[in-house]
């Protein structure tokens, strides 16, 4: 079972004390897998005050070896995780602009967001970065898997664009490191064709293929080892009760393709009853499907340095929410048998 949490900020903290505290608390909760950003790109390092791992601009592509705000921060996070027996999922790119996403590549090499997937110069630079990260950490026991992108989208595009990109890129990663799993990192969007193969689908946003992603076709790619599913119904316009349907639909696709499916991100904003809302989703994972695991967005703590890399979805250490949705659920999942009733 892939039971864990999201802590995107782990390799972007400047303080060793912050990293150590967070890893200690994550381990104490019982989490064994953590998803943390393996990317960090800027186009202008002169105006960059946060941690970043590479620079892309008209002068070229450079990796940041500065010990205070460069790749050494990710080095430290991975070493700290290893000491606690925690493994990391490392996404190597972000769909969004935060911390250097797809647009940092197109800013440097031309085109727009959607053309990134077929932009030869941008893809060459992206593969350079993949090689840099994968070769640096592939021998570490703290690596759980590599992830192509956090929530890749190509809005309004044919889903074949991302499917080809995912196939080519995952094969490249496997050529560098055949010993670790690779995932796409998508939200699990379905097209009208793929949606018609599952129960209880509806003609609405998540099933139209508008974001240019076809979960079913992508999961069939031989060099992708498991599928990822995300859920943000406050952003997508769905009722929270629909979450269990979304989980079950992806479970069915995973069963048909004989591949694991991971509920990689799900969240309830602050101000709502998180236990009452997310509890039924966790129960669906635990008792009604063979979904391999789930990872809440996101773990949070009070950092000694005062750093605040958090949002309104954070579930804080030493709260009833984390005790129930975190620690207790970890214990329940540890006893789960891989059964599927849906």
| pLDDT single digits (tens) 222-278 | 999 999 999 998 899 999 989 999 999 999 999 999 999 999 999 999 999 999 999
pLDDT tens profile 119-171: 999 999 999 999 999 999 999 999 999 999 999 999 999 999 999 999 999 99
CA nearest 2: which of 129, 88, 82, 99?
Answer: 88
d(C-alpha 293, C-alpha 336), whole Å: 10
- Residue range 79-84: mean pLDDT, rounded: 98
Active site residue 202: no
Q: Residues 147, 151, 187, 211: which is the catalytic one? A: 151
Q: Pairing mode, if any, of strands 293-296 and 299-300?
A: unpaired
For residue 6, the tally of other CB atoms under 10 A from its CB is 23
CA nearest 154: which of 204, 181, 119?
Answer: 119
d(C-alpha 234, C-alpha 24), whole Å: 31
pLDDT of residue 193: 82
DSSP designation for 114: G
pLDDT tens profile 201-229: 777 899 999 999 999 999 999 999 999 99
Number of H helices, E strands in the chain: 12, 13
Residue 72 in this model has a pLDDT that exceeds 50: yes
Three-state DSSP state, 128: helix
Q: Residues 45, 202, 265, 270: which is the catalytic one? A: 265
d(C-alpha 121, C-alpha 300), whole Å: 38
Query: HEC string of 82-95?
Result: HHCCCEEEEECCEC
Residues with Cβ within 8 Å of 120's Cβ and at least 6 positions away in sequence, in order, are none
Whether 102 contacts 94, CB under 8 Å: yes
**Residue 205: both structure tokens together:** 């946003």
Active site residue 264: no
Confidence band, pLDDT 50/70/90 cuts, at residue 342: very low
CA distances from 103 to 42, 106, 117, 271 (A): 10, 5, 11, 33
Q: How does the average pLDDT of the chain come out, rounded?
A: 94
d(C-alpha 236, C-alpha 191), whole Å: 16
Three-state DSSP state, 214: coil
pLDDT of residue 104: 97
| Run of H or E including 252 | helix 243-257
- Listed in sequence order, the DSSP H helices in 88-242 are 102-109, 120-137, 159-176, 192-195, 215-219, 233-236
Residue 97 in this model has a pLDDT that exceeds 70: yes
């Amino acid at each position: 079972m892939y039971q864990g949490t999201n802590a995107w900020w782990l390799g972007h903290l400047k303080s060793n004390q912050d990293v150590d505290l967070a890893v200690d608390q994550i381990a104490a909760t019982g989490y064994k897998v953590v998803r943390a950003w393996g990317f960090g790109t800027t186009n202008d390092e002169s105006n960059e005050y946060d941690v970043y791992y590479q620079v892309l601009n008209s002068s070229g592509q450079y990796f940041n070896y500065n010990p205070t705000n460069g790749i050494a921060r990710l080095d430290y996070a991975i070493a700290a995780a290893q000491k606690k027996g925690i493994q990391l999922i490392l996404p190597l790119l972000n769909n969004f602009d935060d911390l250097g996403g797809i647009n940092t590549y197109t800013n440097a090499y031309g085109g727009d967001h959607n053309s990134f997937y077929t932009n030869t110069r941008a893809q060459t630079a992206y593969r350079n970065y993949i090689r840099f990260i994968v070769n640096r950490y592939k021998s570490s026991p703290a690596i759980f898997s590599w992830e192509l992108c956090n929530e890749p989208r190509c809005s309004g595009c044919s889903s074949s664009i991302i499917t080809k990109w995912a196939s080519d890129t995952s094969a490249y990663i496997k050529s560098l490191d055949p010993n670790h799993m690779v995932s796409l990192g998508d939200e699990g969007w379905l097209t009208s064709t793929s949606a018609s193969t599952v129960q209880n689908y509806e003609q609405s946003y998540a099933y139209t293929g508008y974001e240019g992603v076809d979960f079913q076709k992508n999961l069939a790619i031989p060099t992708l080892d498991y599928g990822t599913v995300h859920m943000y119904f406050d952003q997508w316009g769905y009722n929270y009760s629909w979450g269990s349907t979304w989980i079950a639909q992806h479970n069915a696709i995973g069963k048909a393709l004989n591949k694991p499916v991971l509920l990689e991100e799900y969240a309830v904003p602050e101000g709502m009853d998180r236990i009452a809302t997310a509890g039924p989703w966790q129960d669906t994972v635990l008792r009604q499907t063979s979904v391999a695991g789930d990872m809440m967005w996101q773990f949070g703590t009070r950092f000694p340095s005062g750093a605040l890399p958090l949002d309104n979805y954070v579930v804080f250490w030493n709260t009833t929410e984390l005790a129930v949705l975190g620690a207790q659920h970890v214990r329940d999942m540890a006893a789960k048998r891989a059964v599927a009733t849906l």
